[in-house]
Structure 1
Amino acid sequence: MEKITIRHAEKRDAAAIQAVYACPNAYTGTLQLPWPSTDKWESRLAATSNHISRYVAEIEGEIIGELGFEVYEQPRRRHVASFGMGVKDSYQGRGVGSALINAMLELTDKWMNIKRIELTVYTDNHAAIGLYKKFGFVIEGESKDFAFRNGEFVSVYHMARIK
């Protein structure tokens, strides 16, 4: 298996991140829309914030995945973060998601004092649900008709990991 490198996303990565979310599985499994624009990703990467971080996964210099997480700014929820990620279709099932989540947990557990990490995942995204469970995330609830995808409403699970 190829070595996966995780690093902080840079402005110059916008086109490569756009290519991740242009993959059908990546935009179908997230709240992203098809045909993402590079300009949108350039704007996201240019906007600096102390509470939002973005990381990319690379193999031999090719960006194959992205993970963004946000620490809540509300004073009573500063111990909580949420995240979302996407992996290029051709690299799914090859450890990229695990590498991204491992890096995030290293940071949140050992450096940021984050106690709770939350996410939403489509109820039919069995691979992602299995991945999250592997890292200690549990299903806490379900929202029916949460999002509109490919011509129909779909439900999500709310999952969380408490350290």
Structure 2
Amino acid sequence: MSMQITLRRARPSDAEAFERMMNRPEVHAGLMQLPYTTADFWRARLAEPGGPAVAELHLVAEVGGEMAGSAGEDPVGPAVRRRHAMMLGISVAPEWQRRGVGSALMAALCEYADRWLGVLRLELTVYVDNAPAIALYRKYGFEHEGTHRAYALRDGVYVDAHAMARLHPNPPRPSPG
């Protein structure tokens, strides 16, 4: 049975779906996200102004009208010398993992960064024990750059995280003529 994954830009009306997905222990345990976020928190976060000057992208993956995952890329900060880089984050509901949702989201983020923003560097952090996510990132050209020891507190224990990045495979050049 083939499933149809639909990707679209996230919007404030997705707040309740974000609350349901991100508060699942098996989801927030793999993220830098805290548990017990509310729909109001997500509504405000999804309504933050950014626009084309910031060029962030926050996507929702839907299967059968239900949120199966989300992903986004944001500028790493306001420093002029880091404008070539964006930070990436992704989450997939457990029942949709290893079913193509993560790959669809990653392909869309990489294509947006490469073809529309001309981003040279995509960065992310991932817990060292998240082997499926690490495999997904490697599939899309991300490489391990180092390990942050005791990077984040997760369920009462400090956990290490890998720094991974992907450089644009064919950076834009001016067209001849």
TM range (shorter): over 0.9
Q: CA RMSD in A?
A: 1.1
- Single out whichever of 123-132 and 29-38 deviates more from structure 2: 29-38
Q: Percent identity?
A: 40
**3-state DSSP of counterpart to 2:126:** strand
Spell out the pairing of 1:68-147 with structure 2 (5 A cutoff).
68-72=72-76, 73-147=78-152
**3-state DSSP of counterpart to 1:76:** helix
Name 2:162's counterpart in structure 1.
Answer: 157
Rounded to whole Å, the distance in 1 between the matches of 2:107 and 2:26 is: 22
Compute the TM-score of the two structures, normalised by the length of structure 1: 0.95
Deviation at 1:68, TM superposition (A): 1.8
Deviation at 1:97, TM superposition (A): 0.8
Count of matched residue pairs: 163
**3-state DSSP of counterpart to 1:90:** helix
Name 2:31's counterpart in structure 1.
Answer: 30
Name 1:65's counterpart in structure 2.
Answer: 69
Structure showing greater relative contact order (alpha-carbon pairs closer than 8 Å, 6 or more residues apart): 1
Rounded to whole Å, the distance in 1 between the matches of 2:164 and 2:32 is: 16
Q: Give, as a single letter, the amino acid of the residue that structure 2 aligns with 1:66.
A: S
Deviation at 1:91, TM superposition (A): 1.0
**3-state DSSP of counterpart to 1:98:** helix
Deviation at 1:82, TM superposition (A): 0.7
Deviation at 1:71, TM superposition (A): 2.0
Deviation at 1:77, TM superposition (A): 1.3
Rounded to whole Å, the distance in 1 between the matches of 2:136 and 2:67 is: 20
In the alignment, structure 1 segments of 5+ residues that lack a partner are: none
Which of 59, 62, 70 is the aligned partner of 1:55?
Answer: 59
Give 4+ residue runs of structure 1 displaced > 6 Å after superposition: none
In the alignment, structure 2 segments of 5+ residues that lack a partner are: 169-177
Rounded to whole Å, the distance in 1 between the matches of 2:57 and 2:21 is: 17
Which structure is larger by alpha-carbon Rg, 1 or 2?
2
Name 2:13's counterpart in structure 1.
Answer: 12
Native 8 Å contact 1:23 1:89 kept in 2:
no
